[in-house]
Amino acid sequence: MTTTTSMLTKAKAAITDKVQATVPVDRQVRAAHLVKKAQRFAGLSTPLVFTEQPIPDPADVPLTEIDVSNPFMNRQGKWYPYFARLREEAPIHYLADSPFGPFWSITRYADIQAVDSNPDVFSAEPYIVLGPPPLEIEMFIAMDPPKHDVQRKAVQGVVAPRNLKEMESLIRERVQEVLDGLPTDEPFDWVQAVSKEITGRMLATLLDFPYEQRHKLTYWSDTISGTAEGTGGTTHQDEMFAAAEELARSFVALWHDKAARRAAGEPDGFDLITLMQTSEDTKDLIHKPMEFLGNLTLLIVGGNDTTRNSMSGGVYALNQYPDQFEKLKADPSLIPNMVSEIIRWQTPLAYMRRVAKKDVHFGGQFIRKGDQVIMWYASGNRDERKFEDADRLIIDRKNARNHMSFGFGVHRCMGNRLAEMQLRILWEELLERFDRIEVVGEPEYVQSNFVKGYDSMMVRLTPKA
Ligand code: HEM
């Protein structure tokens, strides 16, 4: 019986590999879409839809019913009070029923660190958000060692210090262009005009993607990571598949175009595609299309709304704590530390998900094999046991760099230095130009239980005298 099963599994894997290698990746995405549509048509699956309701105060909800996966928590300003209660009363908390199934919430800094540092017990496979994404793309953020390590090693050169140095002046030029084009003394949407624009330009640089089409990168990334099924977002499945198909087609074309230009004698750049084409481990990745798609998607999704929301979050936080902006103007050498503090305060990704590989006693609870375990970085970053006066933004906070927004262990964010560099450049250039950066009105927040971010934020700039 076991032999037959294992033979069948091997045969299935061989067929999958063959299909993956021969069928163009956009067609594979389209096929997955058709399967989903057929399932919907046959009544086998119903897309999730979330409707916003007022969320009660945490003290009014029984502990066992607390559901921090509600995608409106951030928008209604309720996440932090709920996390504070969980950290105090049930730091390893079990919710038996939610739209994403049952899950454990880990909310204290030290416990999150312990889970994230133990991939032997807590697996990142097969996905790292609360619900199954409608399209499962192979990404190393959702793989365990040793496969994870091989794939990460293959692409991490793109953000190696030498490459970042090469990129710095280009990124600065692009930031300067954006800031010099902003209106002054009249309100505009900071998210669209600055955060999205700069991040899009950086992604285009990183991938050597056609510059005039850079807005597609942010659109694809937002659409793919914003499904209701995965994160409680607003993207409909059909929209997500259409975006993934277009992304797949464009990246395959980009790969071939780049190969042709290099063959014609164009010197190698420091972009991701060149690095992949010149590295032994990845030069044939185009023949493993789903893996190719996964690695590229991970870079654009990983680098997109995280950095963008730190750019918006910093401005918002400095408006909440104006004394800190004065402190910054008096001493711009605080910028690097402030960048870490902004990333702590904002926590652009609220959590990562793990699955227990075996039964385990953890923090006084019994977690069973197969249980979902959610590491709430957004809560760990406000844990008073680690950060004094944790809700405040304090730009010269001594241990700001110990924040957990980049995770820990084997999956620790690969783009952390790049993100910090972009934020540092942004703040250096802002201080050169503006005396006041004023948030006018409450921002609009993203509907998601994963991305802790801003849909729009009106800002007025006052130039330096
Ligand atoms: C992984 C956050 C910027 C690429 C991660 C993880 C987090 C994270 C929480 C998972 C950590 C874990 O599971 O322990 C952030 C934040 C950013 C940011 C808060 C900005 C402030 C970027 C940028 C890039 C990027 C700019 C692109 C170059 C990645 C990749 C991974 C990752 C490739 C997977 C690493 C692995 O699994 O080994 N990031 N990220 N990130 N991030 Fe970022």
Arithmetic mean of pLDDT over the chain: 91
108 vs 280, more confident: 108
pLDDT value, residue 195: 97
412 CA distance to ligand 1 centroid (A)? 7
Check if the beta carbon of residue 134 is closer than 8 Å to that of residue 240.
yes
404 lines ligand 1 (CB under 6 A): no
Parallel, antiparallel or unpaired: strands 372-376 and 103-106: parallel
**164 exposure class (CB count in 10 Å sphere: 0-12, 13-18, 19+):** middle
For residue 403, the model assigns a pLDDT of: 98
CA–CA gap between residue 247 and residue 244 (Å, rounded): 5
- Say what percent of the chain tops pLDDT 90: 69
Mean of pLDDT values over 79-96: 98
The distance from CA 73 to its chain's CA centroid, rounded to whole angstroms, is 18
- Residues in CB range of 395: below 8 A, 6 or more apart: 324, 327, 328, 334, 337, 338, 341
- Between 21 and 127, the higher pLDDT residue: 127
Q: Label residue 1 by pLDDT band (50, 70, 90).
A: very low
Q: What is the tens place of the pLDDT at every residue in 408-432?
A: 999 999 999 999 999 999 999 999 9
Mean pLDDT of 18-25: 64
Question: Among 72, 25, 80, 74, which Cα is nearest to 53's?
Answer: 72
The residue whose CA is least distant from atom 38 of ligand 1 is 411
| CB 207 less than 6 A from any atom of ligand 1 | no
Mean pLDDT, range 66-88, rounded to an integer: 98
Domain borders along the chain are: 32-463
Judged by average pLDDT, the poorest of 49-58, 257-266, 268-277 is 268-277
User: What is the Cα–Cα distance from 373 to 354, expressed in whole angstroms?
Assistant: 5
Euclidean distance between the first and the last CA atom of the chain, given in angstroms as a whole number: 81
Q: How far is the CA of 186 from the centre of ligand 1 (A)?
A: 35
440 pLDDT band, cuts 50/70/90, is very high
Q: Does domain 32-463 have CATH number 1.10.630.10?
A: yes
Above 60 in pLDDT, residue 459? yes
pTM of the full predicted structure?
A: 0.93
What distance in Å separates the CA atoms of residue 103 and residue 371, rounded to the nearest whole number? 7
